[in-house]
Amino acid sequence: MGDHSPAASSQERNPWAAVRRTAAAVLALIPILNGIAALTIELLKPYEVYLPAWIFPALNGVLVATALLAAWVTRVLAMQKVNDWLREYLPLLAPEGKTNQ
């Protein structure tokens, strides 16, 4: 009668684009958070509080690790089998593709 298979979400149709978008979004935070850290250092100078020199490399390392983790999770969530499982058991978290029932 009708096709009852779920429509593919944009993540399923182009998973690597979703990974690139996610990684770019997280990595875009690097200059923002470095600016906030630099401002914090300046604001603490009158109180003679000094942050250690390793703060900036550590902050950037954490952001890169977060970007890699977020990209990996995005790639896993873009898999057809994962989305089929989400549609069946957790429809609230399923991508925009819905079944035609």
Dump pLDDT digits (tens) for 35-88.
998 899 899 999 998 888 898 899 899 999 999 999 999 999 889 899 899 889
- Kindly report the CA angle at 95 between 94 and 101, in degrees rounded to 5? 75
Give the domain ranges of the chain. Answer: 10-93
Q: Is 11 exposed, middle or buried (0-12, 13-18, 19+ CB in 10 A)?
A: buried
Residue 27 makes CB contacts below 8 A (sequence gap 6+) with 63, 64, 67
Q: What is the pTM of this model?
A: 0.70
The answer to whether 83 and 94 have CB atoms below 8 angstroms apart is yes
